[in-house]
Amino acid sequence: MEIKEFQKIIRETYFEKDSKRGKAETFRWFVEEVGELAKAMKHESKDELAEEFSDVCAWLFSLANLYDIDMESAVSKYSKGCPKCKKSPCQCEE
């Protein structure tokens, strides 16, 4: 699935509910999902991790839709590797 297609599906599925919930509350849901991902990382179950990564992505894209951000354009920042050092793999100092 392409990034644009995923964002469109999330918009069609959740935009009305997300709009009613508002940006701040949608962000709180996103943060909750990040917390669930953190818990799943302790168990290291691939299935559980995949589910939580997918939920985090869905909520992130929901937020992007609320802010009218085209995620395909946004992630293009990394299309040539590290946006700071311009290398892949990254050569930046930690």
Query: What domains, with CATH codes, occur in the chain?
Result: 3-78 (1.10.287.1080)
pLDDT 10s digits, 29-75 = 999 999 999 999 999 899 999 999 999 999 999 999 999 999 999 99
For residue 94, the model assigns a pLDDT of 83
Under a CB-based contact definition with an 8 Å cutoff, are residues 61 and 6 in contact?
A: yes
pTM over 0.85: yes
Q: What is the mean pLDDT of the chain?
A: 97
Residue 65: DSSP 8-state: H
